[in-house]
Amino acid sequence: MLSIIVAVAENNAIGKDNDLIWYISDDLKRFKRLTTGHTILMGRKTYESLPNGALPNRENVVITRNKNLVLEKCTMLYSIEEAIEKYTNSEEEVFVIGGGSIYEKLLPYAHKIFLTKVHSNFEADVFFPEIDSNNWKVISEENHKKGEKNEFDFSFIDLVRF
């Protein structure tokens, strides 16, 4: 089964110039805690944005249309259909970690969203799709104020599909 994990601004911004737009240390810690030991699924551009390549202690799966591309310490998938077939009915929880194009294509197949809402608006070139409140319900919400290691106010919001 597929779970989405994402940090989204009030205006749905998630990235600019193939990078994140904010620094929220507690969000990175939560990301690490939730995904460690699991499979993470990402688009080729998100992989390129990682400073040290594949993330440790996780099975890194990268989606690309380039059949010649093989990345170190990664499992390669060459279509979204392959990802859907392999993971939507799998027993294990597989985390979709971005970016925009992969979220958009896999949101309809996800059963859970681990959302970090960043309470500000940003200029961006990649956005998260609208979350339709008819399909998703909030099961937990935790609000946090900005501080030394967290640049903006933010909330951790978990949603499950109705």
Contact (Cβ atoms closer than 8 angstroms) between residue 150 and residue 24: yes
Q: Is 109 exposed, middle or buried (0-12, 13-18, 19+ CB in 10 A)?
A: middle
Closest approach, Cβ 87 to ligand NAP, in A, equals: 14
User: What token pair was written down for 117?
Assistant: 């809402």
Contact (Cβ atoms closer than 8 angstroms) between residue 139 and residue 160: yes
| 126 scored as a contact of ligand NAP (CB under 6 A) | yes
For residue 84, give every residue at least 6 positions away whose Cβ sits within 8 Å of its Cβ, in sequence order, or none.
Answer: 106, 109
| 65 scored as a contact of ligand NAP (CB under 6 A) | yes
Q: For residues 85-104, which are near ligand NAP according to CB under 6 A?
A: 97-102
Closest approach, Cβ 88 to ligand NAP, in A, equals: 15
| 46 scored as a contact of ligand NAP (CB under 6 A) | yes
Rounded to an integer, what distance in angstroms lies between the CA atom of residue 40 and that of residue 3?
10
In the bound state with ligand NAP, the residue whose beta carbon lies nearer, of 20 and 34, is 20
| 40 scored as a contact of ligand NAP (CB under 6 A) | no
The contact set with ligand NAP (CB under 6 A) reads 6-7, 14-16, 18-20, 42-46, 49, 63-66, 79-80, 97-102, 105, 126
